[in-house]
A and B are shown apart, each in its own frame.
Chain A
Amino acid sequence: MMLRAAGKRLLGAAAGRQASPAGAARRGYHERVVDHYNNPRNVGAFDKDDPDVGTGLVGAPACGDVMKLQIRVDEGSGRIVDARFKTFGCGSAIASSSVATEWVKGKQMEEVVAIKNTEIAKHLSLPPVKLHCSMLAEDAIKAAVEDYEAKKAKLEKADEDGTPAGAIRTT
């Protein structure tokens, strides 16, 4: 119920907001942003220690924006099979990261690092002051991919170096 009230307040605030001093058109959240706010996709988390998971954590609480975006990658194909996000921030930030999780699913990692903040901003019709949210979402995607690759490299190196000292080799 509180969610509905908050949602209504959001819409209400948007609808009731008066024109800016310069007399420009009425501002409000685009319906896609409201949709993602009310029905966020892929909310949640994976186990960050899972070798198939890449975690991107961007932003700063002091700025009022933190996004955590996680991807699950199929090792064989390099395809992102699933994604989750958790975001602390404004409606536009939540919507941007929600869209990001939708767009990375089913894609190759090389493809998703090409996702630009401008595409996210256009999809959500973000106003100028909220373009920064879409940039953060782009950063989150890149950070998740980087994390996965770094983890993978580390694991591969550990394999090459052999089993740790003290462990018993059975083969």
Chain B
Amino acid sequence: MASRKLLLGLTAGRRLRSRTRQLFSAANLLEATTSPSLPAAAATAQPSGGSPAALLFSPRTISSTRQAAQSAGDAPGPSTVDHKLIMPEDEFHKLADEIIHDLLGKLEEYGDSIQMDGFDIDYGNQVLTLRLGDLGTYVLNKQTPNRQIWLSSPVSGPSRFDWDAATNVWIYRRTGANLVQLLEKEIGELCGTPVELS
């Protein structure tokens, strides 16, 4: 169990961080590890008790599959695309905050108008949570490293939206779904009353 202790234990966190810095680009890793709340739980086992704080992934494996075809982190594979080149962070925040605040306002009005039991909308720590009583809960948040907005829906599950500059909307590349239209359709159907979110 000693080896497990080393790898899963939080004291190994420091060593793990310095090791992983060698594997991943420093910039990306800084975002991931400077947050104290990031639970760097690396599940791995070393029966022979080999090198302590063993690398999660040897450089060999990390450079393997899925290097090509990165669509802003949505396709499987570690993200090798530098999203800072795709969109500057402040621009992302501006666009994402705009849509989220807009949705927040419209959903609040909707909630007031339909008087539904268990309807609750909450915005805290830049996470928008919409509870629809027993019908389920929506969670909408920014995923800044990927320049995406992430949605969790009780109807369609998880989806990740990228900004489409050509049409000025947020699109889930896998399905082509438009964030605002998806929410309008789902929430309208769930609550039984159409909602206007655009």
> Which residues of A are at the interface with B, using a C-beta cutoff of 8 A?
1-3, 5-6, 20-22, 24, 37, 40, 43-45, 48, 55-64, 66, 68, 85-91, 94, 98, 117-118, 121, 128-129, 131-132, 134-135, 139-140, 142-143, 147
Contact B32 A63 (CB under 8 A): yes
Q: Kindly list chain A residues whose C-beta atoms are within 8 Å of the C-beta of B152.
A: 128-129, 131-132
Contact B158 A134 (CB under 8 A): yes
Contact B9 A6 (CB under 8 A): yes
Contact B122 A21 (CB under 8 A): yes
Within 8 A of A (CB), among B109-135: 120, 122, 124, 127, 129, 131
Contact B65 A55 (CB under 8 A): yes
Question: Complex Cα distance A40/B4, Å?
Answer: 11
Contact B41 A91 (CB under 8 A): yes
How many whole Å from A37's CB to the nearest CB in chain B? 7
Question: Complex Cα distance A2/B42, Å?
Answer: 13
**25 A-B contacts, Cβ less than 8 Å apart?**
A1-B9, A22-B120, A22-B122, A43-B45, A48-B61, A56-B66, A57-B57, A57-B65, A57-B78, A58-B66, A59-B79, A60-B145, A61-B20, A62-B32, A86-B44, A91-B39, A98-B43, A128-B138, A129-B127, A129-B139, A131-B158, A132-B152, A134-B158, A140-B76, A147-B65
Question: Residue B99 at the A interface, CB < 8 A?
Answer: no
Question: Residue B8 at the A interface, CB < 8 A?
Answer: yes
How many whole Å from A50's CB to the nearest CB in chain B? 12
Question: Complex Cα distance A109/B76, Å?
Answer: 18
Contact A63 B143 (CB under 8 A): yes
CB within 8 Å for A142 and B76 given contacts A44-B45, A94-B41: yes
Question: Residue B40 at the A interface, CB < 8 A?
Answer: yes
Per-residue CB contact flags for chain B residues 141-158 toward chain A (1 = under 8 Å, else 0) read 101011000101010011
For A1, the closest partner residue in chain B by CB is B5
Question: Complex Cα distance A129/B138, Å?
Answer: 8
Question: Complex Cα distance A45/B46, Å?
Answer: 10
Q: Kindly list chain A residues whose C-beta atoms are within 8 Å of the C-beta of B49.
A: none
Contact B76 A135 (CB under 8 A): no
Contact A118 B157 (CB under 8 A): yes
Nearest first, the 8 closest Cβ-Cβ pairs linking A and B are A2-B9, A62-B145, A60-B79, A62-B28, A131-B158, A128-B152, A143-B76, A139-B76
> Which residues of B are at the interface with A, using a C-beta cutoff of 8 A?
1, 4-5, 8-12, 20, 24, 28-29, 31-32, 35, 38-45, 56-57, 60-62, 64-66, 73, 76-79, 120, 122, 124, 127, 129, 131, 136-139, 141, 143, 145-146, 150, 152, 154, 157-158, 160
Contact B124 A94 (CB under 8 A): no
Question: Complex Cα distance A48/B45, Å?
Answer: 17
CB within 8 Å for A88 and B62 given contacts A56-B76, A98-B43: no
How many whole Å from B108's CB to the nearest CB in chain A? 13
Contact B29 A62 (CB under 8 A): yes
How many whole Å from A60's CB to the nearest CB in chain B? 4
Question: Complex Cα distance A90/B41, Å?
Answer: 6
Contact B65 A63 (CB under 8 A): no
Contact B76 A24 (CB under 8 A): no
Question: Complex Cα distance A60/B65, Å?
Answer: 14
